[in-house]
Chain A
Amino acid sequence: MTDSIERTSIQKDLEVLEKMTKPKDLFRLANARRMALRQQSRRLPSFYWILATMSSCFVIGFMLFPIESVTPNGVNQSVLNVESQISQNQEYVMADDTDFYYWLDIYDE
């Protein structure tokens, strides 16, 4: 079969395929044409909606539940901060208590 005959036969089949467009699709095409001629804004593709929803969920998640910093040894930084605060408080308490034991110094002398 030569190329030209083959090509003509394929073209003929494709033309029939065009004619076989379903009425539902013809209606949708007519609607698309009408919207394009009026330059009405189109809806965004669903893919972008999914992406936008996912990214906004991540942002909200990070805002509500911030990731706590962890030291390289795996110790939670907030726990270390609390411990250092406790030890500082104990030193204050001890410094206050020394006034109470002033009389010990008298006996030592």
Chain B
Amino acid sequence: MRELKFVKNQPSSPNQSNSEKSTLSALQVPYSTLEEFLKYIERRAFHMARLSTRQIDDAHDIVQEAMYKLIEKYAHKQPLDWKPLFFTILNSKITDYYRRNSIKDKVFFKSKATPAEDDYYLDWESYSATASGTSGPDAQFIQQRNIHELSRCIEQLSHRQKQAFMMRCWEGYSTQETANLMACSEGSVKTHYSRAISKLRNMLEVNND
């Protein structure tokens, strides 16, 4: 049976001194505890998983598994290491999801065209609640349409292209950091990223026309 541990809502190590905390703040890390980190990262992780799987429930499962694994294995690490570790776990969980689905499709002869749950994720109520009050309805409409188109286009990228795009563009990692996260060479990351960007550009241009 799995040993249950309770991780206290405290800094990662009891010896974390004030100087370490000041170092973290100097490096602009907006979290010092695991709970703060998970709060900080969960939305982005959810949307990354959602855009990768196109299934909201599966995205939630993947994020929860990644959180669970991070705390189980790497709670003792320094806060600066949490983010790359979390994204490595998240990426491997998404890859596992793709593998599992391909096996499932072969076993159950499932058709490739599975209905996406998140086709209408962006509704007007949630958008208008979060949109800034300064922009008018026209600007809001354009932004909402852009986000919708961007989401649809990201979903059409291949798995590796999505990973490269999300890590480089969304998370702002360098090519080397992304290569470490994706467990591949920097050249591969550059290739995947440039292909993803050019594909997105083409798709967005076609949709705008």
What residues of chain A have their CB less than 8 Å away from a CB belonging to chain B?
3, 6-7, 10-11, 13-14, 16-22, 25-26, 28-29, 32-33, 35-42, 45, 47
Contact = CB atoms under 8 A, between A and B. Distances in A.
Interface string B163-177: 000000110100000
B7 A37 contact: yes
A29 B39 CA distance: 9
B147 A42 contact: no
A47 B99 CA distance: 12
Contacts, number: 97
Contact of B64 (A18, A35, A38): A35
Interface in B118-147: 121-122, 126-127, 130-131, 143, 146-147
A39 B68 contact: yes
B130 A20 contact: yes
Given A32-B64, A33-B42, A3 B197 contact: yes
A39 B7 contact: yes
Interface of B: 2, 4-7, 9, 34-35, 38-39, 42-44, 46-47, 56, 60-61, 63-65, 67-68, 70-72, 100, 104, 121-122, 126-127, 130-131, 143, 146-147, 150-151, 169-170, 172, 197, 200-201
Chain A CB within 10 Å, residue with most, of B70, B72, B169: B169
